Structure 1
Amino acid sequence: MKFGKEFKKQKVPEWTEAYMDYNGLKRILREVMRYKQSLLHPALKHKRASQQKQITFMDSTAFSAQHLQSSNLNQSKTDVENQVIDVDTLQRDGSKKIYKTMFLGRSEDGRDVETMFFAKLDEQLNKVNTFYKDKVKALIHEATLLNKQMDALIALRIKVRKPHLNRSNFKIRRSLSNAALRMHPTNITSKGDKSSGKEHMGLTPEVHTIYDHKKDESTAEKELNSARTTGCSTDHGEQVRNHDYQQDPLKILDHVKINNTLDSPISTIRGVFKDSKEQDLSFNKEELRRVEEQLRHAFIEFYNKLRLLKHYSFMNLSAFSKITKKYEKITSRRAARSYMKIVDNSYLGNSDEVTSLLERAEGIFIKNFSNSNRRKGMESLRPKAKREKHSVTFLSGFFSGCSIALLVAIALRIDAGNLMNKEEGTQYMENIFPLYTLFAYAVLHMLMYAANIYFWRRYHVNYPFIFGFKRGTELGYREVFLLSTGLAVLASAGFLANLHLDMDSSTHGYKTASKMVPLSLVTFVLVITFCPFNIIYRSSRFFFIKRVFRCICAPLYPVTLPDFLLADQLTSQVQAFRSFELYICYYGLGEYSRRQNRCHRHEVYNTFYFIVAVIPYWLRFLQCIRRFYEDKDAMHGYNGLKYFLTIVAVIIRTAFELKKRIAWLVFALVSSAIAVTMNTYWDIVVDWGLLQRQSRNRLLRDKLLISRKSVYFAAMFLNIVLRLAWMQLVLGFRLHSLRKMTITTTMSCLEIIRRGIWSFFRLENEHLNNVGKYRAFKSVPLPFSYNENEDGDETEDDEDDDDDNNDKDD
């Protein structure tokens, strides 16, 4: 694979614009190549001269002036290679370095184009350096926060696991978590600055053994005493030892509280009655477990950030090396070595903070969260990449063929039995068909999801990050397609078995068994879904179950993007919910024994017929209320109003379906029209981000992943048409029952297709928002909250200072 394609493939999707513009530089080099070729062909000389007048080049005199003013100019270079270019380093804002290259080539041979190339190269180097330095500083700040969190965690472990320790007699040094991150902004160094040494890039190396809380007190004290005598050979190490002091390890717990993130039903209920976002420590094992889990998650995310940033540095350095070598090959000028010396001495190529932090973060995680088991720790930090299996592709094709064959067999069986022309057959289909449409809705939704995954991957939408999947466990479109075709085979085989057992005169003795086929299929699917064993993508099944549970408990859990996306999917499965209700009536009320669907004669069934249709929209409404309460954003309030209007429309439509009165028809049409108008506007403008007046793409948005704009206009048109079809369904309630069932099923399938199209553009818009903000990481809440009056970086243990701090706290 060529480097250009590999470079594009290996980019962090959210940082695409922060990478070196390799393709842009290649285009300039192609311009240089064409110019060189025109010099070799006299016939092209005149044409090249006319084209060159149309190109605006950067004024080379500006580089000459800059060259004369720079204090870093070295005029004693005599080597031919060093005379091709001269790179000046300028200082901005005190510390920010800006690189400017002056091309020293002869005036002929396309000097202007090559000058433009180096100007573009400098621009990209400055851009990459600035981005990389900003990200490193952000990670250094996060490292200091994690350091304080680890201090509190170690103290909490001592308090919970060793409650009998005497605080007055048990003293340890200030650095409780001797494996904690010691990264301060003042310690940022590079390879060129050896005064501080590597040890200040990450963890403080003064203590190399983590306090083992499982050992007895005497052994622990020996280890701590041994740790105190361990010192650093550097000057800074002497400074650190001079500031070492004795402190009660549990005293830190007097200045911390647990963040009340309202991430559980109990904490949410407490938060309603308590305004405080913090709560005192309870010092129990359950609290320690939750804190350890939160910090474990935070460390994994922090480590992944470091890995992505290191990969970013490596890929950009490789790109600079490749493009300068291409320049040498095309122009026969030796400038790659000179320029790469500048790149290697820049912050991007010279700093090693990320590498040092990676090594030390591994040590922390392995010691504190993996019981010193390196293999187990690295499996958590670096999960194995998922591999595509040939068996998945084979089984997907096999199940696809089987499902098509079974559907053809079902159609032939219905035609052979002439079921659609007999009253008895029509009644039978009215009873049996709704039971199997539940599977049809699920299969269609999974097929749309598989198609979306395929196109998300094709257009580099980072869907695993958006959905919050655990790395290495996300399903690809092949796996989802396999599950959908497998379910299709299962449902089709059950339907065909029902037809055979009920319609064949030789199988009248098996009618009781035939009645239980649909229930058996549903039971089998539910058992597989909730199966605790590691089979059939357990991680994905549990992720789905967890998200469904959070949707059901909508106001009691914080609403994340996967939660409301799933709730939006459920709003397109209203008929599936009603089919599930039919199962309960059919088997719970014994209607299957009568061979006639009389569920609507039960008042309880009709009541739940209203409730079931409203449940998905109600859950989404509660999510909007929760987000409005937390974020105080009016947009969430308007979104909740949209779902409330939809709930009103669904209730009125259901009432008209059951009552069949003209008044209800008018109310249903009016309410549905209002709901459709607001939902369509919200889909296109808010969720998709389209129809922007100031956009450079007319009636679209500034950034588009799909190059053909007609796709977006077609999607908007389809969305409007399918929304109107949902409204038109009101008029179909007066049709014959079988026709009405067919139309309802068709419209429900179209709604699922509309939701699938909506999902693609919704995630595309979310991805582009992440790209615009360079947001490639999840925000992980930390468990502990420190008092603002306490200075977390104190280096003195003075009783007067402690008293002052206590006074401030009071």
Structure 2
Amino acid sequence: MKFGKEYASQTVPEWREAYMNYNYLKTLVKDILVFRQRLNGSPKNQVTRKPLPLKRKVSLFRAFSGLTNSSPGKHKEDEVIVVNKMQQTDEENAVECPSYQTIFLRPSEEGGDIELVFFRRLDDELNKVVRFYKTKVEEVVEQAGELDKQMDALIAFRIKVNNRMEAIRESEVSEDHQEMRSEDDNEYRAASLEVLNRIKINATTETPRSTVRNVFNSLNSDLNYNKTELKKARGKLKHAFLELYEKLRFLKNYAFWNQLAFSKIMKKYDKITSRNASDAYLQMVEESYLSQSDEVAKLIERVESAFIKHFCNGDRDRGMNTLRAKSKREKHRVTFFVGCFFGCSLALIVAIITSLHARDLLKGAGQTRYMNTIFPLYSLFGFLVLHMVMYAGNVYFWTRYRVNYSFIFGFKQGKELGFKQILLLSSGLSVIILGGVLSNLEMELDPETQSYKTVTELLPLGLVTLVLLVAVCPFNILYRANRFFFLVCLWHCICAPLYMVTLPDFFLADQLTSQVQLLRNVGFYACYYGWGDFKKRDAVTCNESNIYYIISIVIAVVPYWIRVLQCLRRFFEGSDSTQAMNGLKYLSTIVAVVSRAVYTQTRGTPLRVIAASTSGIATVFSTYWDIVMDWGLLCKNSENPWLRDNLILPNRSVYFIAMVVNVILRLAWMQTVLDFHEAPFLHRNALIAIVASLEIIRRGLWNFFRLENEHLNNVGKFRAVKTVPLPFSYEDRDKDV
């Protein structure tokens, strides 16, 4: 692999703009090469080329510099550059940072202007890298100092919680407590119980209980000395240590790869120009804060020591395995089984189609019966598999274009599913479902199984039960961490607005708004097997029941109502003032859904006008929000007209195509539910399933651009690690604790 590709693969996606722009500098070096090739190929230029008297220039520049160390055997006439170091203040970050300037001594030579541009841009990149690195190092030093105080409070808290004998034992242990202080601070002050008089527990409204307490009472921030609070505080601090350690690792790699990039680009320059400028410049890089600072290395050692001691009972192996999560290994058997399952799925689809046509199973009264009962039962799985396939495609393209979806969603490091794992689950599920459909058809036709009519009709319910059991299975199989992550997010959606709303929560709720037909099919399951006569394949009770009709409307409204509650929670927390408008968007959709449902039941021109107008308003509102707010597009004064300044996809036309497709699919959904569709060659339920599938596809497209926009926002703020709430806060931070 060439260095440029390896360098790009090793960058932290959120810090991409802060890395040395190796590709651009490489193009400048290539420009120098092209000019020299043209120059050497022109006899006229070769004749008129004259050496320049540089003695005076060199002496002047060296007198001005005073900081350049040249090789002992190198003559002034042979020098190409002179490097200078000046002190500047970064006003944005209020950081004192040196600024490096390179003076090119051969600007009057032919092609010297190109080399001059190269060194100017090289200096800009070095100053940018050093400034960013110094800012981030000061941030982690500050965070380490805060964690130091938090650990003092935690140890004191633990002493208070335990009984007297345990307190004595913990006090003896705490005498060996080595916090993340500088090496000059050899005097350690043991955690004192007096610290507890100056701290309070940070109350966070993250749970239903704390939310209710916050609404009806004031949250009690007084210290409550019990093991439950101690466990919570310990968990928060452990998480904070893990995030700090990850940031330190990022900084260590950042310094290493940038130094290597400067070395590579200077060697390319020397090779092309036959000069010897790399020694002087790389010496400047070596003497810069990027190379000389040892704060990160020291903090890594101290964090490791503190984490192993206080969170792993001194077990270094366990501590290091926790801190340094192992990267995922690509397993060939996953690819193999994905191919097998997809092949089996295609074979089963062919077998089902052949069986239907060869035996004329869907003709006459049997077709209507089958499409009104069995088809909705099995189409539920089709919607689920399609959504999983779309999500696998999202993960593939997120990975390809380095969108850090794992960090954005908050997956546990190394536990996120790749697109192959998602395809494995979806293809395996499709094999089971298609096998169930074929088995249902065969059992229905086999005379020997006619007496087991109940078993035949219960097969779809058995498949649903199997999927639910796998989803909640407590054993460490079939990606347990991801299954539980999904269930937790689903529970947060159900309990909205009692839980603090995070991105995975509202992202999942948005997926549910595109799975209304799936949720309706779940309701049909309950009705068909609860009220209907499933033994006779009779769903008249469900299809003609007013109660079921009302329930189906409620089911369709629930996902949008969840989003309304989530928007209200975020708005009242003050995290995003635009959430009030977002909530109105979902309310408009609820009105449209209800008006359409009433129209399809009662008909009439006035109701049709109301349904059309409300649906049109909701569609326009939602389309605008998708493109402008969620995708961040349609920026008139952008560097990329009508898009946004930063784009991940290299082809800008893809964004315009996505916007048009989004509008078309939304309009198709609106027209279908308004009965602007008559397809005599298709059953109504089949057409509804097709339109529902189009909505799932639209959501899949939305997912990619929504997360791309979120990723770019993180990049703009250089957020590469999560911000972890700390358990304690000091009432007087100005005093030394």
Moved over 4 A (4+): 43-46, 61-71, 73-78, 163-167, 169-173, 733-738
Aligned to 2:211: 268
1:282 paired to 2:224: yes
Whether 1:28 and 2:24 are equivalent positions in the alignment is: no
Q: Per the alignment, in what secondary structure is the counterpart of residue 420 of structure 2?
A: helix
Question: Does structure 1 retain, via aligned residues, the 8 Å contact 2:65–2:83?
Answer: no
> Could you give the per-residue CA deviations for residues 90-123 of structure 1, whole angstroms, max 9, x where no partner exists?
1224942111111234843633322222222111
Q: Equivalent of 2:88, from 83, 86, 92?
A: 92
Deviations 1:194-253 (CA, angstroms, capped at 9, x unpaired) = xxxxx25xxx5x4xxxxxxxxxxxxxxxxxxxxxxxxxxxxxxxxx47xx6xx8821111
- After TM superposition, give the deviation of residue 517 of structure 1 in Å: 0.7
Contact kept in structure 2, 1:180 and 1:364, CA below 8 Å: yes
Q: CA deviation at 1:503?
A: 3.0
| Map 1:109-120 → 2, pairs under 5 A | 110-120=111-121
User: Matches of residues 322-341 of structure 1 in structure 2 within 5 Å?
Assistant: 322-341=264-283
- State the partner residue of 2:562: 619
SS at match of 2:683: helix
| Structure 2 partner of 1:552 | 494
1:63 and 1:102 in contact (8 A); partners too: no
1:421 alignment partner, SS class: coil
Matches within 5 A, 1:261-660: 261-275=204-218, 279-598=221-540, 599-631=542-574, 633-660=576-603
Task: List runs of 5+ in structure 1 lacking aligned partners.
Answer: 50-60, 184-198, 207-239, 795-810
Aligned residues: 723
Q: 1:618 to 1:95 in 2, by over 3 A?
A: closer
What SS does the aligned partner of 2:497 have?
A: helix
* Structure-2 separation of matches of 1:634 and 1:107: 57
The residue identity in structure 1 corresponding to 2:82 is: D
Match status 1:79 vs 2:74: yes
Amino acid at match of 1:100: Q
- Find out whether 1:131 has 2:132 as its counterpart: yes
Q: Which amino acid aligns with 1:334?
A: N
Q: 2: distance between equivalents of 1:6 and 1:376?
A: 31
Contact 1:649–1:675 under 8 Å retained in 2: yes
| Structure 2 CA distance for partners of 1:380 and 1:487, relative to 1, 3 Å | same
CA 354–76 in structure 1, closer or farther in 2 if over 3 Å, else same: closer
C-alpha separation between the residues in 1 aligned to 2:589 and 2:58? 64
On the 8 A contact 2:107/2:116 being kept in 1, the answer is no
Would the alpha carbon gap of residues 248 and 767 (structure 1) be closer, same or farther in structure 2, given more than 3 Å must change?
closer
The range that moved more, 280-289 or 654-663, is 654-663
| 1:534-555 Cα shifts (integer Å, max 9, x gaps) | 1111111111111111111121
AA aligned opposite 1:140: V
Alignment partner for residue 677 of structure 1, among 616, 620, 635? 620
Q: Deviations over 1:14-56 (max 9, x none)?
A: 111111111111111112222322233226959x99xxxxxxx
Q: Scaled by the length of structure 1, what TM-score is found?
A: 0.85
SS of the equivalent of 1:420 reads coil
- Cα deviation digits, residues 349-406 of structure 1 (max 9, x gap): 1001001100110011111111111111112111110011111111111111111111
Distance apart, 1:749 and its partner CA: 0.2
Q: 1:647 to 1:64 in 2, by over 3 A?
A: farther
1:645 counterpart SS class: helix
Contact 2:600-2:674 at 8 Å conserved across structures: no
Q: Is the 8 A contact 1:38 1:45 kept in 2?
A: no
The farther-off stretch of 506-515 and 716-725 is: 506-515
Instruction: Note closer, same or farther for the CA distance 1:482–1:165 as it changes in structure 2 (3 Å cut).
Output: closer
Q: CA deviation at 1:292?
A: 0.7
Greater CA drift, 605-614 or 261-270? 605-614
Query: Are residues 248 and 441 of structure 1, via their aligned partners in 2, closer, same or farther at CA, if it must alter by over 3 Å?
Result: closer
**Cα distance in 2, alignment partners of residues 776 and 398 from structure 1:** 38
Q: Is the 2:596–2:674 contact (alpha carbons within 8 Å) kept by the matching residues of 1?
A: no
* Distance of 1:557 and 1:270 partners within structure 2: 13
More divergent stretch after superposition (668-677 vs 750-759) = 668-677
Aligned partner of residue 98 in structure 1, secondary structure: strand
Distance in 1 between residues matched to 2:251 and 2:628, nearest whole Å: 34
Tell me how far apart the structure 2 counterparts of residues 506 and 17 of structure 1 sit (CA, whole Å): 70
Change over 3 Å in CA distance of 1:606–1:733 after alignment to 2: farther
RMSD: 2.7
Identify the range of structure 1 (25-34 vs 340-349) with the bigger mean alpha-carbon deviation.
25-34
Deviations 1:649-687 (A, max 9, x none): 111222223333443322211111111010000001110
Contact preservation (8 Å) 2:13, 2:403: yes
The match for 2:726 is 782
Q: 1:72 to 1:286 in 2, by over 3 A?
A: same
Do the aligned residues in 2 keep the contact of 1:67 with 1:88 (CA within 8 Å)?
no
C-alpha distance in 2 between matches for 1:322 and 1:153: 47
Are the equivalent residues in 2 in contact too, given 1:732–1:743 (CA < 8 A)? no
Q: Aligned-pair distance for 1:791?
A: 3.4
Ranges in structure 2 where 5+ consecutive residues have no aligned partner: 50-55, 90-94
Query: Within 2, Cα distance between the matches of 1:256 and 1:63?
Result: 62
Residues 164-206 of structure 1, C-alpha deviations (whole Å, 9 max, x = no match)? 6899x99899x978232225xxxxxxxxxxxxxxx25xxx5x4
Aligned to 1:766: 710
CA contact 2:148–2:179 (8 Å) conserved in 1: yes
Superposed displacement of residue 735, structure 1: 6.3
Tell me, in whole angstroms, the C-alpha distance in 1 between the residues paired with 2:552 and 2:162: 54
Report % sequence identity: 50
For residues 298 and 170 of structure 1, what CA distance do their matches in structure 2 show? 22
Q: 1:297 to 1:792 in 2, by over 3 A?
A: farther
How far, CA to CA, are the matches of 2:270 and 2:206 in structure 1? 58
CA contact (8 A) 1:155 1:176 kept: no
Q: Measure the CA separation in 2 of the matches of 1:248 and 1:420.
A: 78
Letter matched to residue 269 of structure 1: V
SS of aligned partner of 1:634: coil
CA-to-partner distance for each residue in 1:448-497, whole Å, 9 max, x for gaps? 00111111111111111111111111111111011111111111110111
Match of residue 693 from structure 1: 636
Distance, in Å, in 2 between the alignment partners of 1:537 and 1:792 is 48
1:15 match: 15
- 1:170, 1:248 within 8 Å by CA — same for their partners in 2? no
Query: How far apart, CA to CA, are the structure 2 residues paired with 1:65 and 1:604?
Result: 93
Post-superposition shift, 1:632? Answer: 6.0
Sort the Cα spacing of 1:292 and 1:170 in 2 relative to 1 into closer, same or farther, 3 A. Answer: closer
Code of the residue aligned with 1:99 in structure 2: it is Y
Shift in CA distance, 166/682, structure 1 to aligned 2, threshold 3 Å? closer
- TM-score under structure 2 length normalisation: 0.93
Distance in 2, Cα, partners of 1:141 & 1:402: 57
Q: Are the equivalent residues in 2 in contact too, given 1:64–1:102 (CA < 8 A)?
A: no
Deviations, residues 681-716 of structure 1 (Å, cap 9, x unaligned) = 000111011111111211111111112111111101
1:181: which partner in 2?
Answer: 180
